[in-house]
Amino acid sequence: MMDYKEKKVMSIGIVRELTGLTERKIRYYEERKLITPFRSEKGTRLYSFSDIETLISISQKVEKGAKTYDLRQEMRKQEAHIRKDLIKEQVNAHFGMKPTIKRPYH
């Protein structure tokens, strides 16, 4: 029972309170693929603390005039970078090559 930040456990009502956004906005940002709540068996949306933070960040940017489409593109890029780093790590782990950061023995 770990990784509290990523676990999808909150229904939309509490998300509304925590973010101060309307349910309409929360669902709209999902429609624009900026967040991806989990769906319970019966279909209710479940969000994580991480989703809350993302929502707050999104709404601030939208208020400043950002387009949801552009925010989506930004997120895609970030995800690509993360994936690249993961692959690099995996390659390093597999071949046992020089570490990215050298640490002197002491």
Partner DNA sequence: CGTGTAAGGAATTCTGACACG
Site for a second copy in 37-66 (CB under 8 A): 40, 46, 49, 52-53, 56
Per the structure block, which two tokens stand in for 31?
Answer: 């429609």
Per the structure block, which two tokens stand in for 53?
Answer: 């933070």
18 binds, among a second copy, DNA, none (CB under 5 to 8 A by kind): a second copy
103 binds, among DNA, a second copy, none (CB under 5 to 8 A by kind): none
Q: 1, 2, 3, 13: which one contacts DNA (CB under 7 A)? A: 13
d(CA 67, CA 71): 6
Do the Cβ atoms of 47 and 8 come closer than 8 Å? yes
**Shortest distance in whole angstroms from residue 21 CB to a second copy:** 14
